[in-house]
Amino acid sequence: MTETILANATLILPGEVIRGALRMADGRITAIDQGGAVPPGAVDCGGDLVMPGLIELHTDNLERHIQPRPRVHWPHQAAILAHDGELAGTGITTVFDALRVGSVVSDGKANYGEYARALANEILELRAMGALKISHYLHLRAEVCSETLVAEMAKFGPRDRIGIVSLMDHTPGERQFRDLSKLKEYVCGKHGLSDEGFADHVASQRALRDRLGALHEATAVAEARRYGAVLASHDDTTAGQVAVSAGHGAHFAEFPTTAEAASACRDHGILVMMGAPNLIRGGSHSGNVAAAELAEAGLLDILSSDYVPSSLLSAALLLGDLWDDMARGIATVTQAPAEATGLGDRGRLQHGMRADVIRVARIGGGAALRGAWVQGRRVA
């Protein structure tokens, strides 16, 4: 049994920060010792932060590797391995890979096809081969405003490591894109639509929601139960929408777009997750509520890197500084996401927990990863 000791470290424990040493062996945390001593054979961290590995619940990063440019498709195995390595290098040791389910195949230029089942197979196969550095689960993004959701979700089951199903409603003029000018900028930029093409897209998406929305919502909720997955809402905007999410049994809310929705989540016992890029940039790129506003109001529980993996660590440290409570800030990317998804074996530096651990050096207001271990094995 090989032991790794990270000594003379600033340990981020649940609810407190101490100077001490952390011992790992056989994939588990075996001891936490207080004080600045450096035992023989230990790594002298020189006061660096040592904390649980980061847990990412919603990332679009894999899609960026699979399609690095519009209409450029990269080999999936290479893309998955590059994605996995990138996350390890940013301190993420557990990820829920977000895969869209529900496609549109009859909307001209703005259509998009099925890919989730085939890609999930490749992720799970690489995991079974031991080729991945970090722990991977699946997050199915159930597109309510689509044509094929029922058939696509039926292809998954309880053995597929699906940890999260999120209800995604991208109906134009609702939720994330209440401002149609923001949606037009996004869709026309991505698909090259004309003004007329955009108007047709809006009309067809709204018609889909009217025709299939209720069925798709009910299907996603039922399938989440069948998989044994946690249900999440997405882009709730009003207290009424939050009440519906609560009725479905949502555990956490991804990126509520208003302070009203975030406050309603708190009233219903739903955890609030916001994007780390929103916090770092000082606001939402879609014109929605700023993460910092919710943090200052005590309405932010979990952070997600969303589309910038390296933002997760930086944003958690920023929150720790903002709240003057580093243990609380780090908990938004470790303990809170673990508890939200039922992962009771990680997310905290405690005896007997998985040895998913990272070492971080503060550099001014930022940070640099100095090491990452998954079940005690160094991966970065």
- Reference 56, options 89, 98, 115; nearest CA is 98
Task: Name the pTM for this structure.
Answer: 0.92
Query: Amino acid identity of 361?
Result: A
pLDDT, tens digit, for every residue of 36-77? 999 999 999 999 999 999 999 999 999 999 999 888 999 999
- CA 227, distance to chain mean position in Å, is 19
**Measured distance CA(271)–CA(336) in Å, rounded:** 9
**Measured distance CA(113)–CA(103) in Å, rounded:** 5
Q: Could you tell me which residues are beta bridge partners of residue 143?
A: 168
- Report whether 86 contacts 369 (CB < 8 A): no
- Reference 176, options 28, 64, 285; nearest CA is 285
For residue 286, what pLDDT band results from cuts at 50, 70 and 90? confident
**Residue 183 reports pLDDT greater than 90:** no
Q: What is the DSSP code (8-state) at residue 331?
A: H
What's the mean pLDDT in 314-320?
97
**Measured distance CA(176)–CA(174) in Å, rounded:** 6
User: Residues of the chain with pLDDT > 90: what percent?
Assistant: 81
Per-state percent for the chain, helix, strand, coil, to nearest 5: 40, 30, 35
**Measured distance CA(98)–CA(119) in Å, rounded:** 11
For residue 200, what pLDDT band results from cuts at 50, 70 and 90? low
3-state secondary structure of 21: strand
Choose the weakest-confidence range: 11-15, 181-185, 301-305: 181-185
- Reference 102, options 170, 144, 149; nearest CA is 149
Q: Which domains does the chain have, with CATH numbers?
A: 1-52+346-380 (2.30.40.10), 54-345 (3.20.20.140)
The pairing of strands 366-374 and 92-101 is unpaired
Question: Nearest 5°: phi and psi at 7?
Answer: -110, 165
For residue 207, what pLDDT band results from cuts at 50, 70 and 90? confident
- Report whether 98 contacts 59 (CB < 8 A): yes
pLDDT, tens digit, for every residue of 290-310? 999 999 999 999 999 999 999
pLDDT, tens digit, for every residue of 244-271? 999 999 999 999 999 999 999 999 999 9
The pLDDT of residue 212: 84
For residue 188, what pLDDT band results from cuts at 50, 70 and 90? low
**Measured distance CA(5)–CA(16) in Å, rounded:** 20
The pairing of strands 357-363 and 366-374 is antiparallel
Query: Amino acid identity of 324?
Result: D
Q: What is the DSSP code (8-state) at residue 108?
A: G
3-state secondary structure of 177: helix
